[in-house]
Amino acid sequence: MLAQVRIVFLTVLCLSTCGALSAQANCLTATGSAPCIDKIDPPNWWATFPSPMLLLHGNHLSGAAVSITGSHVSVTRTHASANGHYLFVWLDTTTAAPQTLTLRVSNSSGSTSRLWQLDQRKPASAGFQGFSSRDVMYLIMTDRFADGDTSNDPHPSQRSLPRGWHGGDFRGIEQHLDYLKQLGITTIWTTPVYDNTGGTQDYHGYSATNMYAVDPHFGTLADYIALARAVHADGMKLVLDTVPNHVGAANPWAKDPPTPDWFHGTVAHHDAANGDFASLTDPHASWAQQKDIRQGWFANVLPDLNQENPLVSQYLIQNAVWWIETAGLDGLRLDTFPYVSRVFWHNFHAELHQLFPHLTTVGEVFNPDPTIVSYFAGGVARPGHEGAVDTGLYTPFDFPLYFMLRKVLIQNQPMSNLENVLRQDRLYPHPNRLVTFIGNHDTMRFLTVPGATIPDLKMAFALISALRGMPQIYSGDEIAMRGGNDPDNRHDFPGGFPGDPANAFTAAGRTPEQASVHDYLSTLLHFRAQHPALQTGLQQDIYMDNTVFAFVRADDIAQGCTPSSPERVLVIANHSTSPRSLTLSTPETALAGCSQFTPVLGAPPATPANGSLTMQLAPDQTAIYLVH
């Protein structure tokens, strides 16, 4: 999901006059009454996968007979739309081997045939690894990161337009993988790559007009597959942003849906989406309170897909499977997660886990309340309108911590307020999986929030690098980029585009401020990668007051140090403009009996004595110690 302001411009799109996309125009304008096919979704499939449902688009498909030529493949049933523009075809490929099939559609006026491929699955080594708290995720808006192929740029240039296409593409990302590795990134999350053709300002990718094609501004499908291979060759992982909740306002389905109930409502008659998720978690709420969350059109303009329709549900699940297998994806970021029914998410994840056992997913639940965000985490069946259902979601983003970090670090609320979020980790089946962050493409840049400083930003990075969960970095935050609300928070990465006056991808091209933040974060991330306690260790919060928050990460925090206990990491953040003399009491904590406190990354010495630990903290300092 993008911030609500990101899509206001879509209300001016001419839903009544945009017309069908060129991919569909061939059949809809053809003469004669013989069947015509101009699109098959999915465009291919894989042997050993569950038998697919095909969605054909064209004309004169109502009442047509369908046959398929191939070995151990058959058509089990079909269903056509009333206007003959769509034909659903169910195949049985249970025992089929990889092969090229011939699909034939005929009526009394003639017939048409299309080749369709049943492929061999990719080897496990092609990807499918899943992300975890051992990783560090980096969010890239493809159009705003780097322009590696100017041949797919818009002409004339739109770089001066805040909502225009600026030229970033898959090759641009691929050309800067070394930069990401050097920073300490292990997982790349890109915003959606769907084709958004037909819209005027859909550079972000969240307004799909063809869910089985990449947008030509980003390159080709071959370019995307090449990017995935390069990411994996460099030992990193690739996560794709997917949007089962809605499609773009210019999607041909908006005017001509495959079934009458393909969407919740129509262009002319629909409800606007309600973003207050509290009623979904309330066992006493009525369906009237919940309906517009699940069935409203996002921003009142994006057609809301009806996942309760089994045809829609199967289409969307197959679409996710197709992208994962095509590119060897390691995970998915699931947009607008609460707006979609729990039953759909349960079925979605059940299919994905069957086919890709290691694949993981992270869901967007844009809300500051842990009681709400935790409701959507997988691993437990939560009661709701559909009954008690487990969404299957690997983890949600930790929006509650995001909101609280900004409050304590920028608005100078007490640092002890962090515990108000962290103590509610009990609500999550797997709090260690939470994805922590300080900003993304839907929020004002950290440094643009009134009152934010460079020391605040560095402390924010230190905390998400050390707290439980997996840190996510938004492209540009590592070089102290500024930007207000959407679209001001989506400026081009400096140096990624022809003619840029400076290149922040290189050390020589960074300003002193950019270098200071970049190098600090890189040091933190590489330190994190070297110490498993910061990746998978448990967390114990041992001290907090108005300006200080201290915690320990260790594989075993049930007792203090023993000769055989694993390494512990102590982290103390002093969010004060003045030095702090701090004495921590260690008995009956994870530091009990520990005698060695080795300062790292510029931390001051720490003196243990008689069950206490004393150190002198500098202003705005995050001190880290290796403990034995």
For 6, half-sphere exposure in the C-beta direction (CA atoms, 13 angstrom radius) is 21
Separation between Cα atoms, residue 350 and residue 68, nearest integer Å: 29
Q: Which residue has the tokens 């398929």?
A: 68
What is residue 70's DSSP assignment? Answer: S
Residue 335 falls in the annotated catalytic set? yes
Beta-strand runs (E) in 366-503: 395-396, 435-437, 470-474
Catalytic residue among 335, 442, 492, 620: 335
Let me know: does 617 contact 577? Beta carbons within 8 Å. no
Question: Would residue 364 show up in a list of annotated catalytic residues for this protein?
Answer: yes
Which one of the listed residues 223, 364, 398, 456 is annotated catalytic? 364
End-to-end CA distance of the chain: 44
Q: What is the SS3 assignment for 606?
A: strand
**Residue 439 and residue 126: Cα distance in Å, rounded?**
31
* E-state strands within 142-196: 187-190, 194-195
Helix 454-466, helix 512-530: angle, nearest 10:
10
In terms of Cα–Cα distance, which of 114, 119, 96 is closest to 104? 114
Run of H or E residues at 290: helix 287-295
d(CA 308, CA 261): 9
Side chain identity at 296, as an amino acid letter?
G
Classified as helix, coil or strand, 380 is coil
Give dist(CA 535, CA 555) in Å, integer: 10
Q: How far apart are CA 267 and CA 255, in angstroms?
A: 8
Q: Which residues are catalytic?
A: 335, 364
